[in-house]
Chains A and B, each alone.
Chain A
Amino acid sequence: MSEMTILIVDDDPEITDALARGLKMHGYSTLTASTVEAAEMRFGDADVTAAIVDVMIGPQGGIDLVRPCARAAIPSQS
């Protein structure tokens, strides 16, 4: 089985790095992305089960990045 992977999206590499190490300490595997485009490519990965997204990222912001994923995941509520 594939491990539960958390996607960390932040343009600050120090933050993604620290978060990744912290989560790893708690036994999670992580993926990092520093741009919206990179993040969108990663959303397709079957391994990614959760994402921590910086609100202040990209021109539209993190919430716009997340909204389509949430809609796709919970179609009944869209």
Chain B
Amino acid sequence: MLRAVHSLRFRLVLGAGLIGLVAVLASGLTIQGMSRMSQQVKSAVTAEQRIQRYAVLASQVGSLIVVLYEASQNNLDADTQTARLEGLRVAIGHSFAQIRSDLDRDIGTARRDDLDEQSRRATRSIGIARMEALLQVTLDRFQTIDQASDQASDQTADPDLRAVRMQGQINAFSLGFDPLLNGAITQERRIRDAAIAEVDVLRNRLTQAALGVGALAVLMVSGFYLAVVRPQFSRLDRLKTASRAIGPGNFRVDLPGGRTDEIGQLFLATQQMAEALSRRKSEVDDEWSRLNQTIFERTEALRSANEALAKTDEDRRRFFADVSHELRTPLTVILMEADMALKSGAETNEAFRVIRNRARRLNQRIDDLLRIARSESGTLSMEARVFDLGAATGAAVADMRRVVESAGLELSLQEAAPQPVLGDPNWARQVVTGLIENALRHARDGGVIRVQLAQEGEMALVQVIDNGPGIDAADLDRVMARFAQARDSSKSAGFGIGLSLARWIIEEQGGHITMQSPVPEPLRAGLSPGTLVTVFLPRAEG
């Protein structure tokens, strides 16, 4: 209930209701005033009407008196007189009847609880009845006198006496009737004047009441506006200011609490919303900074991990370089000593030759190891992507060109259109490099190493052709077999990358390696039989 009283809606409805009530009051007042006014006017009008009737009665009675007087003089004949008298009697009786009926109606309209008024009106009826009775008595007496004089002999009858008696009756009637009639008229006039005066009073009272109601309405409207409506507008303005501040993200609004009406609830809701938004914002900010911190930490961790990895990689490379140096230095000494011993023609030549060959093979294996070590991953992992075999071959040739040329050989690469193949470009390059090194080692005397590209069905080819002494058919079989049996490395001639490794690498990429000797005629690089090694790699689609 308290809540309902504090409710703005309740107060607005109350205010509107009160103002409406004033309007209803004004209407009621008007209706009531009109009705009373009309009653008074009606009262005045009927009073006036009755005065008119009295006036008619007075004139009729005046005529009657004249007729009676004339009758007393006996100047007219009896028939004419009787006719005139009868006509007036009827007319006066009619007037009396009308006046009575008016009065009866009037008494009926008087308020039932107003006994004074009722008795006053009844008193008037008594006055009328008296007048009627007086008239009747006078006429009766007049007739009695007339008949008495008629019965008397015309001779004995004294016309003067009759006239005197008749005039006495007339005078008595006049004296009795006049005050009664005047009294009745005076009373009606008083009623009429009282009604008119009452109209004035009513008008004044109505005017005052209208002014009072108008003033009350103005006061109530002003009070309603000042006390109820205007404060709400100023509160709504505060709310608007606060809402506008919230929009761009200023959540520090300060709306007063404590009032529980609709706007107060809106204040509270807005305040809570702003606080919730503010909390949310600070949470988001916290999350954000935490996220940034996390990102920063992760970045740092990644960077240090990367640094550690780079260092590990560097360590690994250095390790391999150190190992290579440590392994090669003694090997170089062994090789030099063996070479010198062979050249000096010592007796143990065969032994030195074995030492030299094994030392060379060891050297080549170290090269293989180092090639793997220098590769990006340090393992034999292979990519499978589309690359240009021509470009990889070109790179291998460029790598080897100086070595080959400083050995006094000619290295030629037959330029060809790009050959897109699927595989690992790095390893393809190393395989080709290895094949060139191999040719250099075995066909130094041929003077020419030729590298060319071709394609055959689904495969792209790299052919390395030398002009060396070639390999016997039996040896070729053995070498080919050794491709398959890599572990049997006895008497290996030493392929740079190792035949088994080269074969493995190419087969991992979906290709294969073949070796032919002597070189088929159209491909031959010179007069010697030479050796043709062909690497097949699958061509890329499109």
Residues of A within 8 A of B (CB): 12, 14-15, 18-19, 21-22, 25, 56
| Residues in A neighbouring B337, C-beta threshold 8 A | 18
| With A22-B339, A25-B343 as contacts: A15 and B333 at CB distance below 8 Å | yes
A19 surroundings in chain B (CB, below 8 A): 336
CA of A22 to CA of B337, assembled, Å:
8
* Interface membership of B340, Cβ < 8 A: yes
In the complex, A36→B124 CA distance in Å? 166
A73 to chain B, nearest CB (A): 22
Q: Which 8 A-B pairs have the closest CB atoms?
A: A18-B336, A14-B333, A22-B340, A18-B333, A18-B337, A15-B333, A12-B329, A22-B336
Tell me which residues across on chain B come within 8 A of A22, comparing CB atoms.
336, 339-340
CA distance A19 to B332 in the complex (A): 10
User: In whole angstroms, what is the CA distance A56 to B336 when docked?
Assistant: 19
Binary CB contact string for chain B from 391 to 411 against chain A (1 if under 8 A, 0 otherwise): 000000000000000000000
Closest to A12 in B: B329
Whether A56 touches B344, Cβ cut-off 8 Å, given contacts A18-B337, A22-B339, is: no
What are 21 A-B contacts defined by CB distance under 8 Å? A12-B329, A12-B333, A14-B330, A14-B333, A15-B329, A15-B332, A15-B333, A15-B336, A18-B333, A18-B336, A18-B337, A18-B340, A19-B336, A21-B340, A22-B336, A22-B339, A22-B340, A25-B340, A25-B343, A25-B344, A56-B325
Q: Please name all residues of chain B whose beta carbon is closer than 8 Å to the beta carbon of A25 when the two chains form the complex.
A: 340, 343-344
Report the Cα distance A15→B340, complex, angstroms: 13
Q: Which residue of A lies closest to B325 (CB)?
A: A56
CA distance A25 to B339 in the complex (A): 11
In whole angstroms, how far apart are the Cα atoms of A27 and B340 in the complex? 13
Q: Which residue of A lies closest to B343 (CB)?
A: A25
CB nearest to A10 among chain B residues: B329
> How many inter-chain residue pairs (CB < 8 Å) link A and B?
21
B: residues with CB less than 8 A from A are 325, 329-330, 332-333, 336-337, 339-340, 343-344
Specify which chain A residues have a CB less than 8 angstroms from the CB of B333 in the assembled complex.
12, 14-15, 18
Which residues of chain A are near B325, meaning CB under 8 Å? 56
Q: Which residue of chain A is the closest to B321 with respect to CB atoms?
A: A56
How far, in whole Å, are A12 and B325 apart by their CA atoms in the complex? 12
Please measure, in the bound complex, the distance between the C-alpha atom of A12 and the C-alpha atom of B343, giving whole angstroms. 23
Q: Considering the chains assembled together, what is the distance between the CA atoms of A12 and B324 in angstroms? A: 15
For A19, the closest partner residue in chain B by CB is: B336
Which residues from chain B contact A12 at a C-beta distance below 8 Å? Answer: 329, 333
Nearest to B340 among chain A residues (CB) is: A22
In the assembled complex, the CB of B445 is this many whole angstroms from the nearest CB of chain A, namely 22
Q: How far is the CA of A23 from the CA of B252 in the complex (A)?
A: 93
A5 CB to nearest chain B CB (Å) = 20
- Bound complex: CA of A49 vs CA of B344, how far in Å? 26
Report the minimum CB–CB distance from A59 to chain B (whole Å): 16
Closest to B344 in A: A25
Using Cβ atoms and an 8 Å threshold, which residues of chain A touch B339? 22
Which chain B residues border A15 with CB–CB below 8 Å?
Answer: 329, 332-333, 336
A20–B344 Cα gap in the complex (Å)? 14
> How many Å lie between the Cα of A3 and that of B344 in the bound state?
23
- Provide the residues of chain B in CB contact with A14, threshold 8 Å: 330, 333
Contacts of A18 in B (CB 8 A): 333, 336-337, 340
* Complex Cα–Cα for A21 and B344 (A): 11
**B318 smallest CB distance to A (angstroms):** 12
Give the distance to chain B from A63, nearest Cβ to Cβ, in Å: 16
**Which residues of chain A come closer than 8 Å to B332, judged between CB atoms?**
15
How far, in angstroms, from A5 to B343 measured CA to CA in the complex?
A: 22
Report the minimum CB–CB distance from B337 to chain A (whole Å): 6
Nearest CB of chain B from residue A39's CB, rounded to whole Å: 18
Alpha-carbon gap, A34 to B332, bound state (A): 17
Q: Which of B325, B329, B339, B343 has the most CB of A within 10 A?
A: B329
CB nearest to B336 among chain A residues: A18
Report B239 CB to chain A, min CB distance, Å. 81
Residues in B with CB closer than 8 Å to A21 are: 340
Bound-complex Cα distance A19 to B344 (A): 14
Listed residue (B325, B336, B344) with the most chain A CB atoms within 10 angstroms of its CB: B336
CB distance from A56 to the nearest CB of B (A): 7
Residues of chain A with a CB closer than 8 A to B329's CB? 12, 15
Complex: chain B residue closest to A14, CB-CB: B333
Query: Shortest CB–CB separation between residue B172 and chain A, in angstroms?
Result: 178
Closest to A15 in B: B333
**Complex Cα spacing A17 to B266, Å:** 102
CA A73 – CA B256 in complex, angstroms?
96
Distance of B278 from chain A, by nearest CB (Å): 65
Q: Once bound together, how far apart are the Cα atoms of A56 and B326, in whole Å?
A: 12
- Given the complex of chains A and B, what is the CA–CA distance between A22 and B341 in angstroms? 10
Give every chain A residue within 8 A of B343 (Cβ-Cβ): 25
The distance in angstroms between the C-alpha atoms of A10 and B343, with both chains bound, is 24
What separation, in Å, do the CA atoms of A5 and B353 have in the docked complex? Answer: 30
- In Å, the complex CA distance between A19 and B337 comes to 9
Q: How far is the CA of A14 from the CA of B335 in the complex (A)?
A: 12
Q: In the docked arrangement, what's the CA distance between A25 and B336, Å?
A: 12
Q: Closest approach, in angstroms, between the C-beta of A57 and any C-beta of chain B?
A: 12
Smallest CB separation, A75 vs chain B (Å): 27
B340: chain A residues at CB < 8 Å are: 18, 21-22, 25
A73 to B339, CA, bound (A): 33
In the complex, what distance in Å separates the CA atom of A21 from the CA atom of B340? 8
Q: B370 to chain A: closest CB distance in Å? A: 15
Beyond contacts A15-B332, A15-B333: 6 other A-B pairs, Cβ-Cβ < 8 A, are A15-B336, A18-B340, A19-B336, A21-B340, A22-B339, A25-B343
CB distance from A45 to the nearest CB of B (A): 25
Q: How far is the CB of B312 from chain A (nearest CB, A)?
A: 23
